[in-house]
């Protein structure tokens, strides 16, 4: 088919709004909110402008939208060195230790701020039992910053009353942005419901970001933002792989469905170097509702077994040692998955979380009032952060103190802040002894594109940041962007791309729909048409390719060179067809652009898995043709770069260097 050009013959041109700023924050999730808070503090006295764009409403956007029941990274009484060791071991030996150490030394400050801003944090009661955040407040327990002792669920995790976590963090970010707006005299500096589609590069300086472009998902407006420094804080990627849920349930995945890999796509297209994009996260979750397991394992001390009561991790300990030593001890998140998968494949499922036994054990030391409180805590673990799981318990007559629940490995997600580490290769702080000089090129968390910074899920090789660490990393990047702007005061962004062409590109799916929708009488005419494909159908096709060829649930996470090559061939055809996506309205235009971004994220992921000829992350994915870990050849970073000038994509190795003994 001939390529269609959007001349705006069938759809009206949107209004183009132009914005000039020094600092642009793309995405107002945990990292974006951290960046706004910190950048404004340093930018205001210097008169530097800070602008934030988010595709949603910052109060409830991103992964933390529904709330969380724990903060998974709080160093507290632990050492930062130990935190680095933990992250290294859980991520199978390869991380950027400079980035992780750097994060470890600042993350607690963000947690203390959350509490000051109103987040209730659980505290130890005088009798040794836990008080939830409100009880602790009523009992006059001191704040963390004043020496308060949090309730640890695990060595690194603390419990919170977290249903309003994101609202609280957003409020502080919005207040900071407002101080900046007033200090710099801007009319507006927070733009919600604006989906950013591309970064803009500089016309004069090679390898230099000059801004970004995006569209309103509510009105016919395109936003062109010119800036000195930009931050990608758009979270990870969900629904690249076919989810286990079907039908109506498709909208329920573990990861927030609104993060579509935009950062991975936009940064890659701009030429930023990626690292460990082969990594993914497969969370073990309460089946179908995706309820979290961490609090059950760590706080309630529940045990998970196969259907006949065997501890699957013990059962496959020898297998882990044989295949994946020296990473079999301590047991990692990926290997716990691996053991469960072995048992599920062998027919020993369902895997059960014994909530009943755990609660009975805990109740032994409790009076009836405390037992009631324990039951409330058990429900609240879900009500705080994955409400549908609580609904599922109710719907299935499951009382957690009486009956165990099924847990199940979910479909894969691409992310860099949870127990995964896909993302961009960024500059570190440069002041940690033992760090190779080439890991720091002046501005902390800047990518290999000048002026383009990364945080949260978009920074690679440094997982286990979680919500608090992503906020802290946003703050690191925010401060760094101010330094960049102060060091480049005379920079005048000159956009390389033609804005008219980009506006036409953004609206092409709308034009295609208006031009051709009369060619079908189907009631949902965007789905079936000889001239176009609707975003929903295209997404199914993408998810099917990812699932079947790149190691999704249908092949038990297994792929190989030949499968990946076949998948990449199909992906190339999907990319051609994607230029014929059509959108009935602005909401579908958003869906189209999410798909464009998912395709890029998926391509990077597949190319990285293809390059790494070993199974580094068993339980996340398997290379059927290289089933073992191969430290001799692959204890290294797997990095890649897309060349925006030539369209070429290359993968290459970078040395891993251990900094912390
Ligand atoms: O345990 C665009 N996480 C948990 N962290 C914890 O500390 N405790 C928990 O209890 C956690 N649990 C959990 C977690 C994540 C998820 C998905 C679930 C449960 C279900 C991890 C943290 O949430 C995570 O580390 C951080 O949120 C990551 O921060 P960041 O900033 O990298 O991503 P984000 O918060 O999702 O925000 C992304 C923002 O970008 C916007 N956006 N805006 C404009 N244009 C585009 N094209 C955009 N694309 C995206 C989004 O709207 C959003 O605002 S536990 O149960 O696993
Ligand atoms: P989750 O609810 O699975 O996201 O886990 C929350 C936190 O607990 C994360 O820091 C996990 O790495 C950790 N975690 C979850 N399950 C276990 C386990 N069985 N052993 C140790 N840590 C765990």
Please indicate, yes or no, whether the overall pTM of this predicted structure exceeds 0.95: yes
Domain count, the chain: 4
pLDDT of the residue at 1: 62
Confidence band of 347 (pLDDT split at 50, 70, 90): very high
Compute, in angstroms, the gap from residue 418 CA to the centroid of ligand 2.
Answer: 10
Mean pLDDT of 70-91: 98
The answer, yes or no, to whether any atom of ligand 1 lies below 6 A from the CB of 470, is yes
Task: Say if residue 507 is in the same domain as residue 606.
Answer: yes
Chain segment 132-150, per-residue pLDDT in tens? 999 999 999 999 999 999 9
Residue 515: which CATH number?
1.20.58.100
Task: Say if residue 481 is in the same domain as residue 541.
Answer: no
Tokens of 564: 């990946």
Residue 179: which CATH number?
3.50.50.60
Does the structure show a pLDDT above 70 at 653? yes
Residue 381: which CATH number?
3.90.700.10
What is the chain's length?
661
542 falls within a domain? yes
Does the structure show a pLDDT above 90 at 3? no
Confidence band of 308 (pLDDT split at 50, 70, 90): very high
Tokens of 532: 């176009």
Opening angle at CA 635, ends 631 and 638, nearest 5: 135
Mean pLDDT of 428-433: 97
| Mean pLDDT computed over every residue of the chain | 96
Compute, in angstroms, the gap from residue 150 CA to the centroid of ligand 1.
Answer: 23
Q: What sign does the dihedral 141-143-147-149 (CA atoms) show?
A: positive
Compute, in angstroms, the gap from residue 253 CA to the centroid of ligand 1.
Answer: 13
Task: Say if residue 210 is in the same domain as residue 309.
Answer: no
Does the structure show a pLDDT above 90 at 378? no
Who has greater pLDDT, 607 or 522? 607
Does the structure show a pLDDT above 80 at 251? no
Chain segment 315-340, per-residue pLDDT in tens? 999 999 999 999 999 999 999 999 99
Does the structure show a pLDDT above 90 at 526? no
Q: Of 379, 409, 439, which residue constitutes the final position of a domain?
A: 409
Query: Which residues, in sequence order, are CB contacts of 523 under 8 Å at separation 6+?
Result: none
Chain segment 565-586, per-residue pLDDT in tens? 999 999 999 999 999 999 999 9
Alpha carbons 553 and 411: distance in angstroms, whole number: 6
| Domain enclosing residue 397, as ranges | 285-409
The HSE-up count of residue 260 (CA atoms within 13 Å, CB side) is 20
Atom of ligand 1 nearest to the CA of 417: 25
Task: Say if residue 150 is in the same domain as residue 177.
Answer: no
551 falls within a domain? yes
pLDDT of the residue at 39: 98
Ligand nearest to the CA of 340: 2
Task: Say if residue 41 is in the same domain as residue 104.
Answer: yes
Nearest CA to ligand 1 atom 55: 292
pLDDT of the residue at 377: 86
Task: Say if residue 334 is in the same domain as residue 231.
Answer: no
8 falls within a domain? no
pLDDT of the residue at 567: 98
Residue 592 phi/psi, 5-degree rounding, is: -60, -50
The dihedral region occupied by 76, where left means phi > 0, alpha psi between -120 and 50, and beta the remainder, is: left
Within 10 angstroms of residue 494's Cβ, the number of other Cβ atoms is 15
Percent of the chain with pLDDT over 90: 89
Alpha carbons 79 and 64: distance in angstroms, whole number: 27
Who has greater pLDDT, 607 or 526? 607
252 falls within a domain? no
Confidence band of 426 (pLDDT split at 50, 70, 90): very high
Task: Say if residue 385 is in the same domain as residue 450.
Answer: no
Tokens of 253: 């995945």
Element (H, E) at 508: helix 499-516
Ligand nearest to the CA of 333: 2
Chain segment 146-192, per-residue pLDDT in tens? 999 999 999 999 999 999 999 999 999 999 999 999 999 999 999 99
The answer, yes or no, to whether any atom of ligand 1 lies below 6 A from the CB of 53, is yes
Cβ(205)–Cβ(494) below 8 Å: no
pLDDT of the residue at 239: 95
Task: Say if residue 433 is in the same domain as residue 525.
Answer: no
Mean pLDDT of 86-106: 98
Chain segment 441-466, per-residue pLDDT in tens? 999 999 999 999 999 999 999 999 99
pLDDT of the residue at 92: 98
User: To test the ligand 1 pocket, which listed residue (64, 260, 296) has its Cβ within 8 A of the most ligand atoms?
Assistant: 64
User: To test the ligand 2 pocket, which listed residue (152, 284, 289, 293) has its Cβ within 8 A of the most ligand atoms?
Assistant: 293
Mean pLDDT of 388-408: 94
Mean pLDDT of 353-374: 91
255 falls within a domain? no
10 falls within a domain? no
342 falls within a domain? yes
Compute, in angstroms, the gap from residue 427 CA to the centroid of ligand 1.
Answer: 22
Chain segment 540-568, per-residue pLDDT in tens? 999 999 999 999 999 999 999 999 999 99
Confidence band of 128 (pLDDT split at 50, 70, 90): confident
Q: Among candidates 138, 153, 156, 132, which has minimal Cα distance to 300?
A: 153
Q: Among candidates 335, 342, 356, which has minimal Cα distance to 310?
A: 342
Chain segment 614-633, per-residue pLDDT in tens? 999 999 999 999 999 999 99
pLDDT of the residue at 247: 79
User: To test the ligand 2 pocket, which listed residue (74, 289, 291, 294) has its Cβ within 8 A of the most ligand atoms?
Assistant: 294
Task: Say if residue 151 is in the same domain as residue 169.
Answer: no
Task: Say if residue 382 is in the same domain as residue 426.
Answer: no
Atom of ligand 2 nearest to the CA of 284: 3
Cα distances from 467 to residues 82, 111, 152, 211, in angstroms, run 19, 9, 16, 27
Atom of ligand 1 nearest to the CA of 53: 44
Alpha carbons 119 and 114: distance in angstroms, whole number: 6
Task: Say if residue 543 is in the same domain as residue 617.
Answer: yes
258 falls within a domain? no
Lookup result for tokens 């925006």: 644
The answer, yes or no, to whether any atom of ligand 1 lies below 6 A from the CB of 209, is no
Does the structure show a pLDDT above 70 at 525? no
Chain segment 271-284, per-residue pLDDT in tens? 999 999 999 999 99
Within 10 angstroms of residue 319's Cβ, the number of other Cβ atoms is 15
Compute, in angstroms, the gap from residue 524 CA to the centroid of ligand 2.
Answer: 43
Q: Residues with beta carbon inside 6 Å of ligand 2?
A: 72, 154, 157, 283, 292-294, 297-298, 333, 336, 419
Ligand nearest to the CA of 593: 1
Task: Say if residue 450 is in the same domain as residue 346.
Answer: no
Nearest CA to ligand 2 atom 15: 294
Cβ(23)–Cβ(482) below 8 Å: yes
Ligand nearest to the CA of 254: 1
Compute, in angstroms, the gap from residue 156 CA to the centroid of ligand 2.
Answer: 10
């Amino acid at each position: 088919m001939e390529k269609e050009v959007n001349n705006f013959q069938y759809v009206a041109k949107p209004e183009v709004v132009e914005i000039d700023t020094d600092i642009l924050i793309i995405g107002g999730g945990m990292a974006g909110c951290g960046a706004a808070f910190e950048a404004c503090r340093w930018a205001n006295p210097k008169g530097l402008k800070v602008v934030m764009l988010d595709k949603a409403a910052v109060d409830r956007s991103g992964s933390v939208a529904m709330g969380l029941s724990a903060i998974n990274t709080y160093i507290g009484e632990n050492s930062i060195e130990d935190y680095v060791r933990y992250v290294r071991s859980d991520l199978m030996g390869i991380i950027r230790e400079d980035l992780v150490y750097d994060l470890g030394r600042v993350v607690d400050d963000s947690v203390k701020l959350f509490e000051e801003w109103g987040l209730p944090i659980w505290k130890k009661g005088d009798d040794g039992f836990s008080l939830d955040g409100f009880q602790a407040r009523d009992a006059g327990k001191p704040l963390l910053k004043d020496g308060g002792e949090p309730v640890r669920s695990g060595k690194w995790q603390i419990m919170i009353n977290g249903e309003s976590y994101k609202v609280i963090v957003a409020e502080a970010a919005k207040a900071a942005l407002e101080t900046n707006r007033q200090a710099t005299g801007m009319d507006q500096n927070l733009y919600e419901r604006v989906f950013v589609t591309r970064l803009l590069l500089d016309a004069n300086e090679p390898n230099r970001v000059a801004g970004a472009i995006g569209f309103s998902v509510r009105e016919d407006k395109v936003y062109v933002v010119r800036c000195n420094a930009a931050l990608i804080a758009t979270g990870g990627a969900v629904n690249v792989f076919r989810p286990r849920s079907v039908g109506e349930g498709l909208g329920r995945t573990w990861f927030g469905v609104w993060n579509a890999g935009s950062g991975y796509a936009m940064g890659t297209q701009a030429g930023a170097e990626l690292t460990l994009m082969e990594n993914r996260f497969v969370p073990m979750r309460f089946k179908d509702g995706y309820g979290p397991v961490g609090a059950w394992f760590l706080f309630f001390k529940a045990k998970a077994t196969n259907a006949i009561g065997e501890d699957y991790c013990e059962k496959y300990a020898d297998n882990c040692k044989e295949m994946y030593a020296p990473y079999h001890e301590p047991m990692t998140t990926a290997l716990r998955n691996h053991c469960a998968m072995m048992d599920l494949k062998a027919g020993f499922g369902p895997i059960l979380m014994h909530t009943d036994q755990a609660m009975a054990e805990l109740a032994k030391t409790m009076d009836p009032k405390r037992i009631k409180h324990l039951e409330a805590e058990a429900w609240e673990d879900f009500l705080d952060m994955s409400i549908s799981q609580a609904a599922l318990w109710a719907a299935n007559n499951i009382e957690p103190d009486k009956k165990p629940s099924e847990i199940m490995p979910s479909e894969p997600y691409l992310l860099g802040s949870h127990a995964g580490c896909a993302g961009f290769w960024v500059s570190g702080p440069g002041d940690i002894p033992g760090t190779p000089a080439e890991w720091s090129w002046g501005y902390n968390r800047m990518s290999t594109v000048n002026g383009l910074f990364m945080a949260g899920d978009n920074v690679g090789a440094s997982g286990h940041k979680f919500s608090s660490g992503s906020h802290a990393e946003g703050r690191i990047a925010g401060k760094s962007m101010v330094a960049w702007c102060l060091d480049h005061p005379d920079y005048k962004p000159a956009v390389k791309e033609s804005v008219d062409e980009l506006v036409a590109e953004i609206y092409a799916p709308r034009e295609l729909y208006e031009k051709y929708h009369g060619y079908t009488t189907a009631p949902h005419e965007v789905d079936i048409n000889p001239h176009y494909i609707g975003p929903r159908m295209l997404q199914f096709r993408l998810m099917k390719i990812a699932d079947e060829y790149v190691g999704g649930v249908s092949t038990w996470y297994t792929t190989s060179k030949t499968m990946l090559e076949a998948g990449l061939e199909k992906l190339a055809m999907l990319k051609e067809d994607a230029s014929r996506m059509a959108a009935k309205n602005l909401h579908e235009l958003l869906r189209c652009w999410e798909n464009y971004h998912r395709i890029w994220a998926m391509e990077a992921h597949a190319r990285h898995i293809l390059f790494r000829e070993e199974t580094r992350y068993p339980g996340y994915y398997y290379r059927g043709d290289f089933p073992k870990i191969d430290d001799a050849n692959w204890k290294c970073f797997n990095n890649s770069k897309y060349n925006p000038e030539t369209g070429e994509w290359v993968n290459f190795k970078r040395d891993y260097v251990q900094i912390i003994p």
